Amino acid sequence: MGVLVVGTVTLDTVETPSTRVEDVLGGSGVYAAVAANFFKSAVQLVGVIGADFPHTYTDFLETEGIDLQGLKRINNGKSFRWGGRYAKDFNVRDTLFTELNVVADFQPILPEVYKETPYLFLANNPPVLQLSIIEQATDPKLIVCDTMDFWINEEREALEALLARVDVLVLNDSEAQLFTGDSNLMRAAQTILRYGPKRVIVKKGEHGAISVTESSFFSAPAYPLTEVTDPTGAGDSFAGGMLGYIASVKDTSEETIRSAMIYGAVVASFNIEDFSVNRQKRVKFSEISSRYSELQEAVRF
Amino acid sequence: MGVLVVGTVTLDTVETPSTRVEDVLGGSGVYAAVAANFFKSAVQLVGVIGADFPHTYTDFLETEGIDLQGLKRINNGKSFRWGGRYAKDFNVRDTLFTELNVVADFQPILPEVYKETPYLFLANNPPVLQLSIIEQATDPKLIVCDTMDFWINEEREALEALLARVDVLVLNDSEAQLFTGDSNLMRAAQTILRYGPKRVIVKKGEHGAISVTESSFFSAPAYPLTEVTDPTGAGDSFAGGMLGYIASVKDTSEETIRSAMIYGAVVASFNIEDFSVNRQKRVKFSEISSRYSELQEAVRF
């Protein structure tokens, strides 16, 4: 029982008020796969890289035990590169550049052994690409997808077709507001449910996340960090951690998804403490359990 | 065992995208007193009004059982008037006018019977005025105060002197950031603790509130409303409800304060559903208990 992650595998340049890193390992697929991998479920990563992608990065992912059969290297292409700059309080991010390169023409074909994987995380990608994965999956137990403002604005119809086919939509607060034109997040989430997903999870950054279904409401706190180094990948770490936990307990009940969201929030909190996946490389599972317990204590009344 | 509320008693004009109300009952003292009064503790209100203040408003407060011995009517003065306008999503409020009138020279003197009241809520006021109340109180068990950007900017020194004398500071997120110059709320709260309060409660509107002490962290959810009519007074309803509950159980332990914050959040959620205290007039205690239970369910994992 494993997790299939379909997302980007990129070389990121990130500027914060104090530091700049260049061509570090990044991408929604990487953040989600590394997060899911903490929970000892088999994690498969589907994505595309170019000839320039450092072998040290793929070696790291393989050493961690992430299955890279679905990661395609295009030998005459260049990797996706993204650059972003954070302002002082990390609430504002400017995109400095986005070079799609090999991602522009990517049409993922699932390796045979991936088709039966039960838990799918379709990270932000063109909705048609996300749909094509769903069509290749033979027995999905839970399909979770993410999206972004660009697809909401430019590919609305395809996105709506996608929503009719997924179990859970994960998106951030500004995206939920953009999709629905409604600034009330609770009402926005209820509106999105009508497009098909059984559950809408709205990420609110430092304010945590909410999960809304027809019959339930869950408010998940964020882990209260006092030091933020780089928020890049936090949302994908959240979703990946969530899927990793779900796959490890092989259950998609409300109870499990609530716990999974907290595990996701914890993994995201570690992600934010360093650039790229550097902090994740050093995290022990006991530290994850410890922050999970702290969050239990933080909401108890 | 009761609650002493010191705050403004005003005539408010509020404009929302759909409605405008004029000279309705408002003010931090009114919102807090009405909120505290749900919990069957004796509630005393200290404030000042002018000759123009409608008797129907004071009659309402008295009928509710709020002690108005400390509410002074200045017969040759005009009442505090405030006007505000909310934008479409209620996150932005423009102040249209502030006429201090009788409040400008108010030097509250506590009636003898108020001096031994154990639970004090000092709503937003000049810090020196808040301090003068503390000096008149003979046996306070818990002193909670609020403040605002104006005093942070203009009366910093007096505010710091006040903080050394209070148990709990309640303020909103932007005020915590302004006071400390720190955008990280957790760190900002920890910084404020060094000025003296044993507990800092940061209100985050629709994102709930956090409570920080030297040794504890509590994340309180907001009640997820789908309809907002008028947020005016929500923060004071939160603090007043909190104090009312604390006084009703006569305890200031961490456990009690957590429950109290949730009761505060519930009363604030009702406040937002109508202008002035109109919704509160119709709320039954069973509805408060019901939303309290819903919030328990909303954070359970």
- Best of B202, B203, B219 to mutate (most A CBs within 10 Å, chain A): B219
Q: Kindly report the nearest CA distance between residue A236 and chain B, in angstroms.
A: 21
The pair phi, psi for residue B274, each rounded to 5°, is: -160, 170
Report, as an integer, the average pLDDT of A172-190: 96
CB A164 within 8 A of CB A172: no
CB B62 within 8 A of CB B85: no
Neighbouring CB atoms inside 10 A of A289's CB total 12
Which stretch of DSSP H or E encloses residue B99? Answer: strand B93-99
Give CA–CA dist B46/A128, Å, rounded: 63
How are beta strands B93-99 and B119-122 bridged, if at all? unpaired
SS3 (DSSP) at B283: coil
The pair phi, psi for residue B57, each rounded to 5°, is: -70, -45
Q: Could you tell me the pLDDT band of residue A92, with boundaries at 50, 70 and 90?
A: confident
Residues of A in contact with B258 (CB under 8 A): 300-301
Give CA–CA dist A98/A83, Å, rounded: 7
**Percent of chain A with pLDDT strictly greater than 70:** 100
Q: Could you tell me the pLDDT band of residue A1, with boundaries at 50, 70 and 90?
A: confident
Task: Please count the structural domains in chain A.
Answer: 1
Average pLDDT score, chain A: 96
- Closest alpha carbon to A147 in A200, A106, A190: A200
Can you say how many angstroms the Cα of residue A80 is from the centroid of all Cα atoms in its chain?
Answer: 17
Per the structure, the complete domain to which residue B255 belongs is given by 2-9+28-72+109-299
Which stretch of DSSP H or E encloses residue A145? Answer: strand A142-146
- Closest alpha carbon to A261 in A301, A214, A217, A227: A217
Give CA–CA dist A13/B232, Å, rounded: 44
> What residue type is assigned to position B287 of the chain?
E
Residues of A in contact with B224 (CB under 8 A): 186, 210, 217, 219
In this predicted model, what pLDDT tens digit does every residue of A194-239 receive, in sequence order?
A: 999 999 999 999 999 999 999 999 999 999 999 999 999 999 999 9
Residue A89: half-sphere exposure toward Cβ, Cα within 13 Å: 14
Residues contacting residue A150 through CB under 8 Å, at least 6 positions apart: none
Residues of B in contact with A220 (CB under 8 A): 301
Residue B208 lies in a domain: yes
Q: Kindly report the nearest CA distance between residue B227 and chain A, in angstroms.
A: 8
Output the pLDDT for position B89.
80
Distances (CA, A) of B84 to A70, B26, B149, B161: 57, 12, 16, 31
Supply the pTM of this predicted model: 0.96
Output the pLDDT for position A89.
80
Report, as an integer, the average pLDDT of A136-161: 96
CB-count exposure of residue B100 (10 Å: 0-12, 13-18, 19+): middle
Residues of B in contact with A190 (CB under 8 A): 226
CB B94 within 8 A of CB B23: no
Whether A186 and B225 lie within 8 Å, measured CB to CB: yes
ipTM value, please give it. 0.94
Give CA–CA dist B189/B217, Å, rounded: 10
Can you say how many angstroms the Cα of residue B298 is from the centroid of all Cα atoms in its chain?
Answer: 25
Measured N-to-C along each axis, helices A127-136 and A156-163 cross at an angle, to the nearest 10 degrees, of: 30
* Rg over CA atoms, chain B: 18
- Closest alpha carbon to A67 in A41, A45, A49: A45
Measured N-to-C along each axis, helices B254-271 and B285-299 cross at an angle, to the nearest 10 degrees, of: 120
Structure tokens at B117: 């009241």
In this predicted model, what pLDDT tens digit does every residue of B171-202 receive, in sequence order?
A: 999 999 999 999 999 999 999 999 999 999 99
> Residue B27 pLDDT more than 80?
yes
Report, as an integer, the average pLDDT of A266-286: 97
Structure tokens at A175: 């995206």
Residues of B in contact with A221 (CB under 8 A): 219, 299
Whether A301 and B91 lie within 8 Å, measured CB to CB: no
Write the CATH number for A183: 3.40.1190.20
Give CA–CA dist A35/A238, Å, rounded: 7
Give CA–CA dist B150/A87, Å, rounded: 26
In this predicted model, what pLDDT tens digit does every residue of B60-98 receive, in sequence order?
A: 999 999 999 999 999 999 999 999 999 988 878 899 999
Which of B226, B262, B301 lies closest to A301 in CB terms?
B262
Sequence-ordered alpha helix ranges (H) in B28-155: 28-36, 55-63, 127-136, 149-154
Can you say how many angstroms the Cα of residue B156 is from the centroid of all Cα atoms in its chain?
Answer: 21
Residue B229 lies in a domain: yes
Residue A196: half-sphere exposure toward Cβ, Cα within 13 Å: 13
Residue B104 lies in a domain: no
In this predicted model, what pLDDT tens digit does every residue of B234-291 receive, in sequence order?
A: 999 999 999 999 999 999 999 999 999 999 999 999 999 999 999 999 999 999 999 9
Residue B145 lies in a domain: yes
Report, as an integer, the average pLDDT of A159-188: 97
In this predicted model, what pLDDT tens digit does every residue of B99-135 receive, in sequence order?
A: 999 999 999 999 999 999 999 999 999 999 999 999 9
Whether A224 and B261 lie within 8 Å, measured CB to CB: no
Evaluated on CA atoms A228, A233, A235, A237, the torsion sign reads: negative
Q: List the single residue in A with minimal CA-CA distance to B228.
A: A184
Give CA–CA dist A106/A109, Å, rounded: 9
Report, as an integer, the average pLDDT of A19-43: 97
Which stretch of DSSP H or E encloses residue A10? Answer: strand A10-15
